[in-house]
Structure 1
Amino acid sequence: RRYAFSARDRIDETEIRIRSVRGKRYHYLRNYTPGAGFASLNRYKEKCFLVKPLMRELLADGQLAGPPRELMEPAPREQLFDCSADPHEIHNLADSPAPEHRAALVAMRAALDTWIAETGDRGEFPEPRDVVAPFEKEMHDWFGTPVWYEQVR
């Protein structure tokens, strides 16, 4: 097998639609949810995954830098990682002008587009609001809604 494909849509009330393709050397991700990322609201994680509130606090205090700070920013539309040189996928090469990165990006985009067409994947389309709303209510009822989220809505 030349490539492995993956998909991520909604977990609980948190909708982050990503499709990815992984080859021997490169990993390409396409984010269909602009503005979303690690810092997106997930009420369960806000209560039970204590690193998220801690990272929010450190960010607000100006104490996050480098990759941890970047993790708190919205994910870009595309990401390309050289897994041989960067196994932890820290350095996004999607905008790199290097010819080998441009070639990898074109090849990975094409592979993902082919997989999407062959499987009928609908990841580019958001779920209807009436599907997501009950999950939001249930998570709010169980875990509450953080003050920071109420302030940015």
Structure 2
Amino acid sequence: MIVKVGVVTAVVVVVVVAAVVVVVVVVVVVVVVVVVVVVVVVVVVVVVVVVVVVVVVVVVVVVVVVVVVVVVIVVVEVVVVVVVVVVVVVVVVEVVVVEVVVVVVVVVEVVVVVVVVVVVVVVVVLVVVVAVVVVVVVVVVVVEVVVVVVVVEVASSTALQW
């Protein structure tokens, strides 16, 4: 009878110790998973905020450049109109002066073309930046999915072991 009580007590002690070990392991796994998820979320949020700030700064810079370019183009067009009026007046006065004004008009038009090319390059850079942002967002989503899958796998494999 005493031996049976001792065996039962030993079995109960082993079961209680095993239960405590399982609870401790599950708590440790849950804490690790929560810490990993929090770290990943913080990193993702920081990366997204940095990317958004960079995109906003680039967009603001591009908008400012475009506005400046538009103002320059308008000024150049006004100058071209004035030059054309001057050319008409000069034609009456002297043919040689007309040739000089024509050269000035051509130079102004070349400057306009160069400004337009710069605007196109800025727009292309903006498109590339947007594409990079899209790629970063896709990578962040993929990383989040991988983290979730790993967490589920770790949790399920830990649960299956016990």
Normalising by structure 2, we get a TM-score of 0.22
Choose between structure 1 and 2: higher strand proportion.
1
Larger Rg: 2
Structure number with the bigger relative contact order (C-alpha 8 A, sep ≥ 6) is 2
Normalising by structure 1, we get a TM-score of 0.23
